[in-house]
Amino acid sequence: MKNVANATNYLNIDTKELFRIYSENKNDKEIRNILIERHLYLVNLLAKKYINKGVEFEDIYQVASLALIYAIDRYNIDKGYEFSSFASPTIVGEIKKYFRDKVWTLRVPRRVQELNKKISEAKLILEQKNKKHPKVKDIAEYLDCSEEEILEAMEASYGYQPISLDSSSNEDSEDKDVTLMDKVGHEEKSFKNIEQQDFIENFIKQLNELEVKIFKDRFFLDKTQSVIAKELEISQMTVSRLEKKIVEKLKKEYEKNI
């Protein structure tokens, strides 16, 4: 009866205050469930943008729902930005990752495609279990594979067909000229609110000369791994490993500042 009473009381609290209470007690599943229910509209809205793209809507909705849970657990109300602005890039990012594993444009060996699917599922499970992004060795141990096999499958995942945000949204006939970017595309603005310029500058100071070049080329100049590899006269696999190492450092540094 006490739990029922608490749940009823929570229902009467506005969302911002509920997030504040949840930030002080992350183990309260009742509050999290209420927050999930209040924001399922966001899952439905973003998932619908990817209807008729070759994947069942139920699968997209499930991926988006898991992303919503991740966003709720990571959201910091003291940062000052709206939850929808924080959650939207997370949800869209997970949907795009799912499409990466589902839709392929290049001829990739079946074993690699199957392993890539297992990797995607393992990432979701390990991230939900450990509350952090899994490393290659963690995924390898979970799937009982070598790290080389995991890296090979991850590299092959670039042979997919992404859903372009410049494509027309066919949700309703009167908005034929409206693109998905017009309705969803606020990721860059949101991340500017989260990742401050001084944070990036301080992070770069922790990298060596090679890591700085790869970081800037990949995330600021949009160069491909193969182009960077040719410029540095190293293998693309080496660039891939260094990039993953840089991303792990960035995540750890970011977690310290949350």
Cβ distance 253 to 206 under 8 Å? yes
- Note whether residue 190 is domain-resident: no
Longest dimension (CA), the chain: 68
- Domain end residue (candidates: 142, 157, 184): 184
Q: Using CB atoms within 10 A of its CB, is residue 38 exposed (0-12), middle (13-18) or buried (19+)?
A: middle
Residue 186 has a pLDDT of 47
Cβ distance 39 to 72 under 8 Å? yes
Specify which residues 104 forms β-bridges with. 160
Cβ neighbours for 236, distance < 8 A, ≥ 6 positions apart: 155, 225, 226, 229
The count of domains in the chain is 2
Tell me the mean pLDDT in the region 62-90.
Answer: 89
Tell me the mean pLDDT in the region 12-24.
Answer: 87
Q: pLDDT tens for residues 21-53?
A: 988 888 888 888 999 999 999 999 999 888 877
Distance CA 197, CA 186 (A): 18
- The closest alpha carbon to 239, from 172, 185, 167, 158, belongs to 158
Backbone angles phi, psi at 221, to 5 degrees: -105, -5
At residue 169 the predicted structure's pLDDT band, cuts being 50, 70 and 90, is low
156-182: b or e for each residue (b if 16 or more CB lie within 10 Å)?
A: bbebbeebebeeebeeeeeeeeeebee
Residue 54 has a pLDDT of 66
Residues 74 and 118 in one domain: yes
Residues 179 and 215 in one domain: no
Residues 92 and 10 in one domain: yes
Residues 35 and 161 in one domain: yes
Residues 103 and 161 in one domain: yes
- Domain end residue (candidates: 163, 184, 205): 184
The CATH number that applies at residue 258 is 1.10.10.10
- Domain end residue (candidates: 159, 184, 209): 184
Residues 217 and 136 in one domain: no
Residues 41 and 165 in one domain: yes
* Percentage of residues in the chain having pLDDT higher than 90: 19
Tell me the mean pLDDT in the region 229-248.
Answer: 90
At residue 72 the predicted structure's pLDDT band, cuts being 50, 70 and 90, is very high
Asked if residue 145 has pLDDT above 60, the reply is yes
* Mean pLDDT, the chain, whole residue set: 79
At residue 62 the predicted structure's pLDDT band, cuts being 50, 70 and 90, is very high
